[in-house]
Amino acid sequence: MTDKKATLSVGDKSIELPVYSGTVGPDVIDVRALVQEGVFTYDPGFVSTAACESQITYIDGANGVLLHRGYPIEQLAECSDYLEVCYLLLHGELPSPEENKRFHDTVKNHTMLHDQMRNFFHGFRRDAHPMAIMCGVVGALSAFYHDQMDVKSAQQREITAHRLVAKMPTIAAWCYKYANGQPFMYPRNDLSYAENFLYMMFGTPCEDYKPNPVLAKAMDKIFILHADHEQNASTSTVRLAGSTGANPYACIASGIAALWGPAHGGANEAVLDMLAEIGDESNIEEFIAKAKDKDDPFRLMGFGHRVYKNFDPRAKVMRETAHEVLSELGLENDPLLKIAQRLEKIALEDDYFVQRKLYPNVDFYSGIILKAMGIPTSMFTVIFAMSRTIGWFSHWNEMVSGDYRIGRPRQLYTGSTSRDYPKG
């Protein structure tokens, strides 16, 4: 924080506003006093507005930097695992070996779902989108733990965090199993977090399923790279819902609903749709030309990023992981994946893309990895939501732990002025 000031002139009136500085990043102007002067700021999409103060995640899009509690995402992906990152996001520091073991054990002991939840799944149509099922089931968790949802209790918030992190893989895998008409697989405490998810996704009672360690490692990296991304649309939704005092399960369900949108969590699914539209390597040049034509509506999905004006730091990790997975599964010659690899090469070498910094982003590579693993595109956003739950919860927890106000955005009204109802 600083004692700098900014002066805003409105007509013949000058309004002095305080300016604050964070530890890194741009300064922010405190505009809260404007309402007393009868004016608001206008910022569609809130792209120039800091709606909160946070210590969790920092992004420098111009330089391709993503920090969780100060740790670069590349270092976390290389040296940590998803549950350790969960602890970091939630508590602010990396755990000691004893804390790490205790946290891992606690999560493992909360992975089961209440048996009545099976009936809840069976209330959905078999062809329901798995995001619809996940949104409903997560919201319904509030009906099973209604006696432990005092948002003012730090202990109850921590218990809720453990439950959500532990149960989300079970919920996600059951969404997949239900759509396929296969029996639900119960979690196993002898497996790691990522291994357990793969086991519940692909295991059956008919035979012993042993998760491939290369795929489990890749899945863990996907979880880490999607764990949090600062004040995005879904995180802001969770904070806004939480500002009303709503229970945390309802707040997380609201984040899932926001993530469902194709402009947010559906980006890696859009990558696979694009690859299917291209269809064959022989069509790539035609589609590259369409992408360069400003009058053509076709867009290359998975290239560039709204936040990162340089290379997405998560994509560097995912690129290496994608090649490991393809090599492990012997899928280097898969037709869609061949198209993806050719597009990647063009984007990294073609001057048009290099000059505009339209590099492949994390969604491009994660879509390739999930496709190679045999996960249907309808599950991509579900896995994203499962990974992002700890980020949503950490932001919600940070907000309700301090002083906060109910969210109440303003508007620029352009409708009719007061008028009388017509008589006769």
The answer to whether residue 363 is catalytic is yes
Secondary structure (3-state) at 178 = helix
What's the half-sphere exposure (Cβ side, CA atoms, 13 Å) at 277?
14
Q: Cα–Cα distance between 29 and 47 in angstroms, integer?
A: 14
Q: Cα–Cα distance between 108 and 189 in angstroms, integer?
A: 6
The answer to whether residue 264 is catalytic is yes
Q: Exposed/middle/buried for 91, CB within 10 Å: 0-12, 13-18, 19+? A: middle
Tokens 């300064």: give the residue: 27
Q: Which of 264, 323, 334, 350 is catalytic?
A: 264
Residue 341: count other Cβ atoms within 10 Å of its Cβ: 17
DSSP assignment of 1-31, as one string? ---EEEEEEETTEEEEEEEE--SSS--EE--
Cβ neighbours of residue 349 under 8 Å, at least 6 residues apart? none
Instruction: Give backbone dihedrals phi and psi of 111, rounded to 5 degrees, phi first.
Output: -75, -20
Q: Are 395 and 239 in contact (CB under 8 A)?
A: yes
Q: Are 55 and 45 in contact (CB under 8 A)?
A: no
Q: Cα–Cα distance between 88 and 394 in angstroms, integer?
A: 10
Q: Cα–Cα distance between 62 and 263 in angstroms, integer?
A: 21
Q: Are 297 and 416 in contact (CB under 8 A)?
A: no
The answer to whether residue 60 is catalytic is no
CA 246 to chain centre: 21
At 120, list the tokens.
Answer: 């809840």
Identify the helix (H) or strand (E) that includes residue 380.
Answer: helix 380-401
Q: Cα–Cα distance between 181 and 89 in angstroms, integer?
A: 36
Active site (catalytic) residues? 264, 305, 363
